[in-house]
Amino acid sequence: MSGKAIDFDRKRKKKRSGFSAVLRGFLGVAALVLILGAANYDVIKRAHYALTGGGLESWENAALEEGFVSSVEEYYYDNLPEKYHEAYREIYVHIMRGEDAGDFMAVIGGDEFWDVYYAVLADHPEIFWIGASAQIETDFSGRMVGYKLETTVPAEARPSMRQNLEVAADECIARIPSIASDYERIKYVYEYLIDTVEYRAGSADSQNIQSALLYHTSVCAGYAKAFQYILHRMGLFCTYITGKTKDGGDHGWNMVRIDGEYYYVDVTWGDPVFAEQADGENSENVTNYNYLCCTEYDLFKTHVPDDSIPLPPCTSDKYDYYKLNGYYYEFFDYDTIHSALMNSVWNGESSIVMKFGSSEALEDARYWLFEGGMLDEPGQYLMDLSGVTTWNYRYHVDDEFCLITIYW
């Protein structure tokens, strides 16, 4: 039979030669890594991350597999440019894993990192062990390649503190009637924190929730994040807002949503202890409801949000505390206000608050109350009731909110 002879030895040689080439290539890469050092190894790790399908989905899957998926609405994540979502989720997973330092894989510049890092912390008040600063490492192009976070709670202490925080939040929630509306729940948490937390500059861990929920002394960040944390545990939307006050000081507060409408809440400014420290006046220890579910028209008289995230309109006054409770007067009417004053003293109330619909109405009320003799009759009633011939009262006028409070 005629035919072409096959050289099996040559085929085997070719196979051996191919294997040897692969081996030589592998050893060459290994030698290159050893020669160039860890920096180039990081480059290889990043190349492997990209080639094996790294990206947003990989971090989403990691969060799912490790039980880190949050049930709360991440307002900052939803409003970040989509190109930053991968970095956001990577930061979140690293933090939740307790990886306080390490390599960073997502493609993001060092400057951009800070916006995304802030967004993660703003969405997640349950991350209570992270401090105010971090160190980052960038390559020659400015790309983020590594990080080291400042922490305030040792890793071994975090599980027990997390449990204590959950218990503290749930103690508050347990006091709220199960039939309470969303507004009533928000109002209760607002009052609860005002009653249990004292404003104190320099409080321990003041930028995190343990300052308010465990130590009961804090500053604005602690108040606002504790408020957000408790609302999240009830399944209510709440996010953290930062900016400045009219005097230029840095400040933090919250935004909530009820029935599709957004409202601002500032627990810190609702605390009479803070009010006394802020303006030096006697706060009378009365909760300030100006900052409970208020509009942007009211809040922006004293607060200026920064531009870290887009904000929706907050224009509904449906849950204005004074309107809901019959303390609001669109116009000044002598008979109406006089009746309110008399009802207050007849009912033995310690004070009366009145909010007016305009500066003009406020000025009319101010004149008749404090110059026009409108307080004479309620004053006479109180003197007769007490069997005395003199009566002293105190009052406070809030021009920005068109409020008058009289303390009997």
**111-156, pLDDT tens digit by residue?**
899 999 999 999 999 999 998 789 999 999 999 999 999 999 999 9
- Would you say residue 182 has pLDDT above 90? yes
Interior angle at CA 344, CA 185 and CA 390, nearest 5: 135
CA 240, CA 296: separation in Å to the nearest integer?
15
Task: Please tell me the predicted confidence (pLDDT) of residue 133.
Answer: 86
Q: How far is CA 57 from CA 4, 62, 139, in A?
A: 55, 8, 25
| Mean local confidence (pLDDT), 339-358 | 95
Q: Are 132 and 150 in contact (CB under 8 A)?
A: yes
- Would you say residue 54 has pLDDT above 80? no
**Percent of the chain whose pLDDT exceeds 90:** 72
- Would you say residue 258 has pLDDT above 80? yes
Q: Which two tokens stand for residue 153?
A: 């709670």
Question: Do 44-152 and 157-316 show the same overall fold?
Answer: no
Architecture in CATH of 157-316: Roll (3.10)
Task: Please tell me the predicted confidence (pLDDT) of residue 220.
Answer: 96
SS3 content of the chain, % helix, strand, coil (to 5): 50, 15, 35
Long-range contacts of 56-60 (CB under 8 A, 24+ apart): 56/85, 56/86, 56/89, 59/86, 59/89, 59/90, 59/92, 59/93, 60/89
Task: Please tell me the predicted confidence (pLDDT) of residue 251.
Answer: 96
**Which pTM was predicted?**
0.85
- Domain 44-152 top-level CATH class: alpha beta
**Percent of the chain whose pLDDT exceeds 70:** 84
The model's confidence at residue 44, banded by pLDDT at 50, 70 and 90, is low
Task: Return the amino acid letter for 161.
Answer: M
- Would you say residue 32 has pLDDT above 90? no
Q: Are 358 and 346 in contact (CB under 8 A)?
A: no
Task: Please tell me the predicted confidence (pLDDT) of residue 40.
Answer: 53
174, 182, 105, 114: which is closest to 145 by C-alpha?
105
| Mean local confidence (pLDDT), 281-300 | 85
The model's confidence at residue 215, banded by pLDDT at 50, 70 and 90, is very high
Q: Are 254 and 226 in contact (CB under 8 A)?
A: no
DSSP class of residue 82 equals G
CA 408, CA 406: separation in Å to the nearest integer?
6
Cβ-based neighbour number of residue 59 at 10 Å: 23
Task: Please tell me the predicted confidence (pLDDT) of residue 134.
Answer: 92
CA 3, CA 357: separation in Å to the nearest integer?
107
Task: Please tell me the predicted confidence (pLDDT) of residue 274.
Answer: 77
Domain boundaries, the chain: 44-152, 157-316, 328-407
Which of 96-100, 160-164, 273-277 has the weakest average pLDDT? 273-277
**pLDDT tens figures, 383-407:** 999 899 888 889 999 999 999 999 9
Task: Please tell me the predicted confidence (pLDDT) of residue 27.
Answer: 38
Q: Which two tokens stand for residue 62?
A: 């990691």
**pLDDT tens figures, 58-116:** 899 889 999 888 788 999 999 999 999 999 999 999 999 999 999 999 999 988 999 99
Distance of CA 225 to the CA centre of its chain: 5
**pLDDT tens figures, 370-381:** 999 999 999 999
Task: Return the amino acid letter for 295.
Answer: T
90, 125, 162: which is closest to 239 by C-alpha?
125
